[in-house]
Amino acid sequence: MCLAVGNLTAAEYQLDESLAPESAQDATTALEIITSEGERPPRRSIFALDFSEAAPFWRDSESELNFKVYEFDRNDGVTSLGEAFAAGSELTFRSGKWRDRMSVTTTWHTSHGIDAPKNLGNTGLLAPDQSDLSTISRAYLDYSLNQETSIRAYRQDFNLPYLNREDSRMIPNTHEGYVVRNAGQRLQYIGGHITKMKKRDSEQFVHMGTIAGVDDNKEGTSIAGVQYAFLNGLSLGGLTLHTDDILTTTYLESSYERSLSDSWGLQLAAQYTDQQSNGKELIGDFDTSSWGVQSRLSYFSTVVTAAYSRTGSDSAMRKPFGGTPGFTSSMLFDFDRANEQAWRLGFSQNFARLGAPGLSLVANYTKGSDARSDSGVILADEDEIALTFDIRPQSGLFEGLWLRLRFSEGDRGRDEDDRRDFRLILSFSLGAFQ
């Protein structure tokens, strides 16, 4: 459970990884987190045992205990569609390195319903029937080949385009996989094979082919991605996800960052996704794409964002393995239906430079139009207003506390098709202990 607080990046799975950026240059795009697991909370040592004489595997190990309380309420303007009040925990153990090469990490997540009406499930906080969750979400071995490159095996989490944590509830998505990762200063890459996935509202790891929509299919998903950051602020990269006989998704992204002065900053970005069925086409014959552009301009810690996206006319984008990286994706709607075009205006304020570190606000308005169903039926336009307010004390008595308030209202023309979300999240990290 990453102690989730908002960021100005596009998709909700990224929105939950950090505070609003302090400048346009600090804001991440999807591929800038190609080897990241998300921002870890501020860490305090609550107690320590003397392992100074022990082997490095034990001497450098640590555990971390976090708690979260989450209130979620969704309605359509007429009736409640989902409601739950839940509390959960995350216990993580990270070992030191054996022979300077090998370490292990395990994480146990829980989510318990305090007030969760059975007829208002599918909130994502608990199982779809509102039953409690308890799962070993991460359990992986990491073997370092050098300071930048490692092999990671078994249950782990990713923050890649279309394959990610989507960490906006109690427990994130995690995956079983075997990958090589490089986290260099300029060059980053990742490659390997993902066999299973555990959705954020489930305890079970299920084969990727089944997750993609084919019952009892045991296919896995091969991944390959690379990103290179040039010295002039330009970054280029791409990622491919391939699941035999089902679908192939290729994502490309470029971004450019520049400091215009001591107070002004600029970031420009573009993205393109190609998605198509392959082989036996077990979930249907489709060939679609989407593209988007985005600009961010900052003055001190105030950031203004403008973005536009367009989805191909063949079909909507499919994202069974995590959240979408689309620049116009928001809390309620992804704005990537077939033939849909969307634009976004956003604003964020990080109050650190104004003397209130840990306080931030993000506001976005997104409008989508011209969408059709995959069969060609014209769909209603949609628009969404989304707000995120965060309080995360950086020091003192309340260090480790994270309070988050989120509200979003989406309009699709009819009351029964509209959506309104209210979310209140309180997270607390007890810190690390050895």
Q: What is the CATH number of the domain that holds 212?
A: 2.40.160.10
- Supply 426's token pair: 């309180």
Confidence (pTM):
0.92
Rounded CA-CA distance 289/338 in Å is: 9
Rounded CA-CA distance 171/68 in Å is: 10
Rounded CA-CA distance 262/265 in Å is: 8
Give residue 4's pLDDT: 32
Answer yes or no: are the C-beta atoms of 434 and 49 closer than 8 Å: yes
Answer yes or no: are the C-beta atoms of 259 and 265 closer than 8 Å: yes
Per-residue CA distances from 187 to 264, 285, 356 (Å): 27, 36, 35
Residue 266 belongs to a domain: yes
Domain that holds residue 231: 12-433
- What's phi and psi for 328, nearest 5 deg? -105, 5
Residue 271 belongs to a domain: yes
User: In this structure, how many other beta carbons lie within 10 angstroms of the beta carbon of residue 30?
Assistant: 29
Rounded CA-CA distance 124/297 in Å is: 34
Mean pLDDT by 10 residues, the chain (434 residues): 36 67 85 61 52 78 94 91 96 94 97 96 95 98 95 95 93 97 93 97 98 97 96 94 98 95 95 97 96 96 96 95 94 96 96 90 97 93 96 88 95 91 93 66
Residue 94 one-letter amino acid? R
Residue 48 belongs to a domain: yes
Residue 3 belongs to a domain: no
User: What is the DSSP secondary-structure string of 42-97?
Assistant: P--EEE----TTS-HHHHT-EEEEEEEEEEEEEE-SSSEEEEEEEEEEEEEEE---
CA-CA-CA-CA torsion for 54, 136, 196, 61, nearest 10 degrees?
Answer: -20
Give the DSSP H or E segment for 380.
Answer: none
Model pLDDT for residues 253-262, shown as the tens digit of each residue: 999 999 999 9
Residue 1 belongs to a domain: no
125 contacts: CB under 8 Å, gap ≥ 6: 70, 72, 84, 86, 111, 113, 116, 169, 170, 201
User: In this structure, how many other beta carbons lie within 10 angstroms of the beta carbon of residue 397?
Assistant: 7
Task: Kindly report the length of the chain.
Answer: 434
Per-residue CA distances from 67 to 77, 164, 348 (Å): 32, 22, 27
- What's phi and psi for 164, nearest 5 deg? -160, 175
Diameter of the chain by CA atoms? 70
Answer yes or no: are the C-beta atoms of 137 and 145 closer than 8 Å: no
Give residue 42's pLDDT: 45
Give residue 211's pLDDT: 98
Give residue 58's pLDDT: 85
* DSSP 3-state of 30: helix
Give the DSSP H or E segment for 15.
Answer: helix 12-15
Buried b / exposed e along 238-274 (16+ C-beta atoms within 10 A):
bbbbbbbbbbbbbbbbbbbbeeeeeeebbbbbebebb
Say which DSSP state 120 is in.
Answer: G
Residue 323 belongs to a domain: yes
How many structural domains are present in the chain?
A: 1
Give residue 397's pLDDT: 84
Q: Which residues pair with 291 in a beta bridge?
A: 272, 310
398 contacts: CB under 8 Å, gap ≥ 6: none
Give residue 129's pLDDT: 95
Residue 4 belongs to a domain: no
Residue 54 belongs to a domain: yes
- 159-160 and 234-243: which strand pairing? unpaired
- Supply 88's token pair: 């959960």
280 contacts: CB under 8 Å, gap ≥ 6: 245
